[in-house]
Amino acid sequence: RDRERQGMAKNTNMRWRLPLVCLLWELAMIVLFGVFVRFGAEADAHWEEEKREMNLTSDMENDFYFRYPSFQDVHVMIFVGFGFLMTFLKRYGFGAVGFNFLLAAFGIQWALLMQGWFHSFKDGKIFIGVENLINADFCVGSVCIAFGAILGKTSPIQLLVMTLFQVTLFSVNEYILLNLLHVKDAGGSMTIHTFGAYFGLTVTRILYRPNLEQSKDKQGSVYHSDLFAMIGTLYLWMYWPSFNSAISDHGDAQHRSAINTYCSLAACVLTTMAFSSMLQKKGKLDMVHIQNATLAGGVAVGTSAEMMLTPYGSLIVGSISGIVSTLGYVYFTPFLESRLHIQDTCGIHNLHAMPGLIGGIVGAITAAAATEDVYGKEGFIKAFDFTGVYQTRTPSIQGGFQAAGIVVSLLMAFAGGAIVGGILKLPIWGDAAAENCFEDGVYWEVPEDEESDVYHMHNPDKPASP
């Protein structure tokens, strides 16, 4: 009875609020795109003239062919990778895949604008090409990460509001790092993972739910939901070399990024399995670790993959990050929840926050250790873009700026997360009561089937199946 009253106190009906937000924002996108967004030269029908001016002899020189395969891999990571990774919960598969779909679809539009204003703005217009699509996907990746922390505890409107603000803050932070600090971060250890994870952790801290144990029974997985999650894991794992190389310089840099990431991820699987088994009394492997910690190796070389990290360097970084991430799941997540009141549904602290920090640090060290001998004279300048006002930068100074990038990302994440968390705490967004968290039935029409028993116990008023 008490539970029922509590449940009724929360109005989770989205009927007018969600459509209103979606439609107004889409309308805003249309207007802003109409005013600002145009095709870049390589996607414009004037390309034939451009080609002549640029003295290009082949259509192959269009950036499309350098980046489109990687773009599609990144696209899969954002929508299938993150979406399915979060389906591990027994009764939140629709929310995991569906809300991820919603927020990412909105986020990429807003990111095209925000990042466009900062990076592709000329004569009052934003000119876009395939690289902008990749960057928009990247930006949204940081929102998907933050979503992992609050998975199951927020309404779709809250997610859209968070996306709006996080994409904005991401773009500002990215601008500071890449343009003001002149930091290298092609795979986004700092801009995507560190920022996204600490932002999400701050938000979930502020949205702390003291009674969350009321939905404890739904926070676990079932056999098949763990297999669905492995689809997400594997696509993230397999395509991560594309993620880290997608926006690197043409040629050797893209090639090198892919190799480094491949190596790091392979090593990470072995150390994750080792520690997963070691930390369980009977030596059994834990699906939570395999689904998540195996990916830490991709995060941890995000900054340095395009540098001369070397294959063995990648193995070392991957090995360490797998260990750190697995230890995090066993020891750190419970600590965060009980002591710091950070309820981190997917354990993004272990998969993105700590490996992201490692990635930033490894990047700073790798940059500081760079020499003309290792990179070649031209390669050295090209790798770090030491041209124009930056032509006097030395590796050690670059290393310092890289380190500064980590700090800035952290500060932006904490400050931004605190503000956005505060906004999301307003009682108007329609989030569910603690006892109804991790339950698709709140926001989705769920088919009746034998597996929904868990649900029926709590929701006697469930509508008949369609």
Amino acid occupying residue 39: F
Of 182-190, 313-321, 360-368, 415-423, which part binds a second copy (CB under 8 A)? 313-321
> Which one among 144, 186, 203, 258 touches a second copy, defined by CB under 8 A?
258
90/193 with CB nearer a second copy: 90
Tell me if 301 contacts a second copy by CB under 8 A.
no
CA distances from 102 to 21, 155, 225, 391 (A): 12, 12, 21, 43
The candidate with the shortest Cα–Cα distance to 396, out of 372, 373, 366, 360, is 366
Tell me if 327 contacts a second copy by CB under 8 A.
no
By CB under 8 A, the count of residues binding a second copy is 147
What are φ and ψ of residue 321, in 5° steps?
-65, -35
Distance CA 70, CA 68 (A): 5
172/259 with CB nearer a second copy: 259
Amino acid occupying residue 6: Q
Contacts of 193 (CB under 8 A, 6+ apart): 142, 145, 299, 302, 352, 353, 355, 356, 359
Of 7-15, 173-181, 193-201, 348-356, which part binds a second copy (CB under 8 A)? 7-15
Tell me how far, at minimum, the Cβ of 248 lies from a second copy, in Å. 11
The candidate with the shortest Cα–Cα distance to 151, out of 431, 462, 451, is 431
Tell me how far, at minimum, the Cβ of 229 lies from a second copy, in Å. 10
Tell me if 48 contacts a second copy by CB under 8 A.
yes
- Binding string, 373-402, against a second copy, x = CB under 8 A? -xxx-xxx-xx-------------------
Residues 184-243 that bind a second copy (CB under 8 A): 220-224, 226-228, 230-231, 234-235, 237-239, 241-242
Place of tokens 């990635």: 359
The candidate with the shortest Cα–Cα distance to 241, out of 264, 266, 255, 258, is 258
Of 36-44, 180-188, 202-210, 336-344, which part binds a second copy (CB under 8 A)? 36-44
Tell me if 451 contacts a second copy by CB under 8 A.
yes
**Beta strand 125-128 with 121-122: parallel, antiparallel or unpaired?**
antiparallel
Tell me if 250 contacts a second copy by CB under 8 A.
yes
> Which one among 30, 340, 397, 411 touches a second copy, defined by CB under 8 A?
30
DSSP state of 194: I
- Binding string, 63-102, against a second copy, x = CB under 8 A? xxxx-xxx-xx-xx--xx--xx--x--xx-xx--xx--xx
**Beta strand 37-39 with 121-122: parallel, antiparallel or unpaired?**
unpaired
Tell me if 429 contacts a second copy by CB under 8 A.
no
Tell me the two tokens of residue 353: 């926050």
From the number of C-beta atoms within 10 Å of its C-beta (0-12, 13-18, 19+), residue 283 rates as exposed
Tell me how far, at minimum, the Cβ of 299 lies from a second copy, in Å. 16
